[in-house]
Structure formats: structure tokens, C-alpha cells
Structure 1
């Protein structure tokens, strides 16, 4: 089938929007030009002078299936990501059962193959059942399709275990992806240790809970030569030690989440579960360090950490609700509205952090909107505002404090392998 995207605009290397028409054939970009004769096409999409980009890549989502399908499923999570313009997402292994054996991993992969509407890459755990000290068989799971290895949701508590995991990963060119949290420093905390926690009378979580384990792991990564990727960096101390490690030549990459870029603990308006996430919203100076870390290259990419929970679970206070915030359906829109329109980030930078860099650092095929590239594309309306409405969510979960926020960049179309998997409201 031949598909034409006409009247689109793409961002140039000079950060200028330039007109483009894309001819899609056999799942790839077949030709790029200014005018094509529409009679030769089976289907035509009129982008109406809106932004056309390569599909976004999210290296950190929770799809909850198997084991927690009441929160989210591979089907609904995949749909939600497509609604946000993501064509590739990478799913965490904190499932039930944990995909820590070949048989269990293949079971998850079968659901993905059956139900996902975009590219879903599945992580395998670092250790058996996520909490043990017994390492998984990395080689076997990688051959079965494991994207990388992580115990996300739990920090690896023992340095010996992390060292051995990194050693094996380095020998086999695998990536270790870390949720960094020293549980001995948690003290039952539920939000950032700061003035807001004191005002609400809630136990706090020190920044050192995160940064101290990052510092440990960076030395182990230097020792082993492994590629070490840090999930959801949230504190200024974490940014500092990662910057120092990069300067020292350690093979470390890291991600930041939109909610940590947009919010600080002082923005929390009430003791409610929609504000509870892990890592927590930290201080204003941490938020500023994250923004600066992106701009100076210390932080490599933006990932959502889409973490769905049921309404009953999250409609509670901080002490009783689980950690987590959804983000797949409005991540680009938050970043575009808050940072691009305000002149803090360029659109070219954002596309790099949300589409190109995530693919590069994990060795995926990079889509640069060239002829021959895969036709994984998104079209965003960057002209007209819309309101984040939980009734429009395709995710089963609604747990976010951003409901009701006015944003720009609503997703008009998402294409995966040249096929429309999401179509929004017509302009």
C-alpha cells in the first residue's frame, strides 16, 4: 500500500520548521518531496501544516501484564503509548510471575506479539524474582528477546550481586538498567524529605537514598566496563556523580521523567496518592539540576516511567497509596508546552531526547526521517491547545496530577510500520 503524508512540517537542524511530504511504502519511507500526485496513493493523510516527527521511543514503561491486568494490560498500555506518539516502548519486568526464566519470558513475549499495536521491547530482571541475590541467565534471556536487564521497582541492595551482574553484562554486551534505592536509608518515607513533607506531617525520603547507590554502581561499572543506565534520575547529587563519572570515562547513561522536570515537592497541593511517585518530586534546586543536566548532556534522554494503578489504589493519601504516575499519553505535550514554547528547550533537542537518543544509547535502529527509514511516525498539533482529560485516556489508569492542564501538541496520528495505530480528532 502507498500512503502519502502531505502538508507536514519537520524540524530542521537549524531548528526551523520546513514543509515536507512523505511517501510511505512497504513499512518504510519510500520518498520525500514537496509535491506528489495524490492519484498514485491508496491513502492520504493531510497533516495540515502540523509537526511530523519520527516515532517517540520510551525506554521505561510498566504494562503490568501478566499479574496486574486490573491496573493495565499490554494492549491498553500499548494503545496509551501510541496515543502519546510513542512507536517503541520498553516494558519493565516487575510482573507476576517475574519473567526470570526462559519459559516465563516467552509467555510475556507471546502476549506482546498478540496484543501490542506498537513495538514493545521487554526487559528481563537482573535477579530471580527481583528481590533475590540469584542472577538470571542473561545469555538465554537475551537470545529470547530481552531488551536489557533491570530490577526496576527495587534497587539491587547487595554490591556483590550488582558487580556480578555487571561483569556478566560486560562480557556479553548487555545493558544493566538500575532503579537506584538504598532501602536501608528509606525510613518508611513516602515523599521527598523537605519542607512540604514537614507541613504534611509525612516521613521523607532522602536524596541520598538514590544518589548513594548510583555512586556505588558507577564505581562497579568502571570496574567491570559494563554499560550502566540509571532510571528516573531525580536529585542534584545524582546528576553530579553521573557527570563526574562521564568525565572519568565510565560507560553510564541515564534518563529523566517529565514529572521531575515540571514539578517540585513545593507544587504538591494535597496529601493525595496522585502526587506519590518513586523517586518522589524533589526540591526546586533538584528540578533545576535536572533541567541543566539535560542541557549539558549529563542526562541522555527523557522517559515516562508510566506506572499505572487502579483508581481505588491511588485515591488515597500518601501513606496508603502505591507509588506511581501515568505519563504515556501526554509526555511530549508536557515537555513541548512547558519548555519549547517557553524557549528553554528547542524542539530539535526534545525530539533528540525522546526519539533519537533513547534508540542510540540502547543500540536500536535510529529513525532520522530519511528515505529507507522505518515508517514509525507521529503527527502533533503544536498550534491548538487541548486539556488533559482522563475520559480520553486509553490507559486503564488515571493516576496523574496533570488532569485538567492545558497543553499543546496533541497527537493527531501515530503510524507504526506505515500503519495508522492512533488517529485523534480531525483539525
Structure 2
């Protein structure tokens, strides 16, 4: 099938294209890019006034499949991703059972090809059952195409065991995605440890809970040489340590989620479980440090940590609610509204952090670019659409978000994955 996208403002991070062009898709590839192309096509999309960008690649998604499909599954998560402009997503392994074998990775990949409209890369656990005692089949999962291992939801507290996992990942040519949390220091905390927590009578989580493990993991990556990706960074010191690691030439990258660069604890007005996430919302100083880190390209990636839960699990006190927030359908709008429209990032940087850089981290050489010969994963984005986020319109099973009713600017018009239109506004 031929699809011709006409008069769109192309943003291509690979060749730094930033101009109005036509894009021709044939089957699953971008075949030609140019001005005023007079070619015939099965489908013509008029994109005047819209951006045409590489499809977003979300490195951090919880699809809850298998085991928790009442929260999300491959089909619903895929629909939410497509609506949000995400054409590839990495599924975290804290499923039930934990994804810790080659066979489990293969099973999700096989089912996703049938059930999900976008590409799913299933990540593998670091340890069996995420118990932190015995290493999972890292080599086998790498052979099955996991691209990275992660103990997401927790850290491997045994540093020696974790170091061995890093060595195996390095040999297998895959990355380590780190959830940085010293579990011995959490002490029952449910939100950032500050005056707001004290006023609400809620136990707090200090910045050092994250920072201690960030420092440890960077040092282990330095020793082993593995590519280390630090997930959902939330503190100023995390940004500073990643900056130092990059200055030393270490293979370390960092990720920020929209909720961490938009909201602070000042936005928590009452004890509301929809504001409970891990790591928690931090101080305004931390928020500004994260934004500065993104602007300076110290922080490489914007990802969602999409973590759907049922209403029963979230609509309660933060002491009892599950950690997590959905984000697949809101990340592009929040990024554009809070960072691009306010001059923190350029549109090119948005494309880099939501597509090009994630592709490079995963080793996906045919993704992350709007250029000839690349996979036809594209998003058409309307930068002028103004509206309020409405959780009741989400295609995700999860509606757990503090952004319900939040005013934003920018909306996905169309998502093309592998040359197929998988979402149209």
C-alpha cells in the first residue's frame, strides 16, 4: 500500500531536517521524501500545519500482560499507544509470572504481533521471579530479542549479583534499564519527604532513596562497560550524576517522565491516590533541574512509566493506593505544552528524546528517523489543538492520572506503524 503525506512539517533528528516536505510510504518503508511530489498513492493525507515526526518509542511501559490483564493487556495497551503516537514500546517484566525466561519473551512477542497494533519489545527480568537471589536466563532472553534487562519496580540490592548480570548483558549486547530505589530506605513512604507530606500526615520518601542507587549503578556500569539506562529519574542529584558520567564518557543515559517535569508536591492538594507514583513527585527545585537536564541534553529520553491500575486500586488514600500513573495517551501533549511551547525544548529535541535517542539505546537502526529507507513508523502531530485531558476518553483500561482536566496544547492526528495507519483522529 502506498501512503502519501502531503505538506507536513518534517522533523527528522537523523539528518536534522526541519522543513515542509511530502513523505511517500510504500509497504512498510519510507520510500521517498521531497517537495510537491506528484505521485499516485492509495491514501493521501493532507498534513499542512502539522508536524510529521518519527513514531515515538516509549522505553518504559507496563502492559500487565500476562497476569494482570484486568489493568491492561496487549490489545488495550497497543490502542492507547497508537493514540499517543507511540509505535514501539518496551514492556516491563514485572508481570505474573515474572518475564524471566526466553520462552516468556518469545510468547509476548508472538502474541503482540497478533494482538497489538504497534511493536512491543518485551524486556527481561534481571533475577528469577525478581526475587534478587538468582540470575534469570539473560543470554536466552537476549536471543529472544528482549534488547534490555530490568528489575523494574525494584532494584537488585545484591550489588555483586547485579554486577554479574551487567557482565552477561554486556556480552549479550543488550542494555540494563535501572529502577533506582534503595528499598531499605523507603521505610513505608508514599510521597516525597517534605512539608507537604508532613501536613497531610503521610510518610515520606527522601531523594537519597533514588540517589544512592543511581551512584552505585553508574559505578557498576563503569566497571562492567554495560550500557546503563536510568529510568524515571526524579531528583536534581540524579541529573548531576548523569552529567558527570557523560563527561567521563560512560555509556549512561537518563530518562524523565512527564509527570516529573510537570508536577511537584506543591500540586498535591489532598490525600489522593492518583498522585502516588514511584519515584514520587518531587520539589520544584527538582522539577527545574530535570527540565534543565532535558534542555541541555544531559537527560536523553522522555518515557511514560505507563502503569495502569483499576479504579479500586487507586481511588483511596495514598497510604493504601498502588503506585503508578498512566501516560501513553498524554505524554506527547504534556511534552509539547510544558517543554516545547514554553521554549524549554525545540521540536527537534522532542523528536530526539521521544524517538531517535530511544531507538539508538535499543539498537533499532531503522527507527527514529523520517528519512528514505527507514521503517514507516510516523506520527502526525497538530501543535495548535487546545483541549483538556479527559481520562474518560482513554483507550487504556487504566484511568489513573492526576492530569484529568489538565489544559494542554498539541494532539496526535495520525499514527502510522510499519506502514499501516493504526490511529486516526
Q: Same fold (TM over 0.5)?
A: yes
Which residue pairs with 1:213 in the alignment? 213
Which residue pairs with 2:29 in the alignment? 28
Which residue pairs with 1:278 in the alignment? 278
Q: What do the CA deviations read for 1:334-390 (whole angstroms, capped 9, x no partner)?
A: 010112111121111111111111111221124321111111111111112122112
Paired residue secondary structure (2:130): coil
Evaluate the alpha carbon distance shift between residue 167 and residue 389 of structure 1 in structure 2; reply closer, same or farther with a 3 A threshold.
same
How far, CA to CA, are the matches of 1:105 and 1:16 in structure 2? 36
How far, CA to CA, are the matches of 2:346 and 2:145 in structure 1? 35
Which residue pairs with 1:386 in the alignment? 387
Paired residue secondary structure (2:94): coil
Task: Trace 1:169-180 onto structure 2 (pairs within 5 A).
Answer: 169-180=169-180
Answer yes or no: is the 8 Å Cα contact 1:19–1:49 preserved in 2. no
Choose 239-248 or 307-316, whichever is displaced more: 239-248
Answer yes or no: is the 8 Å Cα contact 2:132–2:157 preserved in 1. no
Answer yes or no: is the 8 Å Cα contact 1:123–1:150 preserved in 2. yes
Evaluate the alpha carbon distance shift between residue 36 and residue 241 of structure 1 in structure 2; reply closer, same or farther with a 3 A threshold.
closer
How far, CA to CA, are the matches of 1:226 and 1:37 in structure 2? 48
In structure 2, list runs of 5 or more residues that go unmatched.
none
Answer yes or no: is the 8 Å Cα contact 1:148–1:174 preserved in 2. yes
How far, CA to CA, are the matches of 1:3 and 1:246 in structure 2? 41
How far, CA to CA, are the matches of 2:77 and 2:245 in structure 1? 34
Which residue pairs with 1:160 in the alignment? 160
Which residue pairs with 2:400 in the alignment? 399
How far, CA to CA, are the matches of 1:322 and 1:221 in structure 2? 31
Task: Trace 1:275-314 onto structure 2 (pairs within 5 A).
Answer: 275-314=275-314
Which residue pairs with 1:61 in the alignment? 61
Answer yes or no: is the 8 Å Cα contact 2:390–2:404 preserved in 1. yes
Answer yes or no: is the 8 Å Cα contact 2:132–2:158 preserved in 1. no
Q: What do the CA deviations read for 1:217-248 (whole angstroms, capped 9, x no partner)?
A: 11111111111111101011212222222222
Which residue pairs with 1:372 in the alignment? 373
Which residue pairs with 2:266 in the alignment? 266
Evaluate the alpha carbon distance shift between residue 413 and residue 179 of structure 1 in structure 2; reply closer, same or farther with a 3 A threshold.
same
Which residue pairs with 2:414 in the alignment? 413
Q: What do the CA deviations read for 1:49-107 (whole angstroms, capped 9, x no partner)?
A: 21111111111000001100010001111110110111111110000011212333333
Answer yes or no: is the 8 Å Cα contact 1:97–1:104 preserved in 2. no
Which residue pairs with 1:115 in the alignment? 115
Answer yes or no: is the 8 Å Cα contact 2:12–2:369 preserved in 1. no
How far has the Cα of 1:290 moved from its partner? Answer: 0.8
Choose 137-146 or 245-254, whichever is displaced more: 245-254
Q: Superposition RMSD on alpha carbons, in Å?
A: 1.6
Task: Trace 1:2-401 onto structure 2 (pairs within 5 A).
Answer: 2-11=2-11, 18-37=19-38, 40-365=40-365, 366-401=367-402
Structure 1-normalised TM-score?
0.96
Q: How many residues align?
A: 423
Structure 2-normalised TM-score?
0.96
Answer yes or no: is the 8 Å Cα contact 2:391–2:401 preserved in 1. no
In structure 1, list runs of 5 or more residues that go unmatched.
none
How far has the Cα of 1:12 moved from its partner? Answer: 7.0
Answer yes or no: is the 8 Å Cα contact 2:55–2:377 preserved in 1. yes
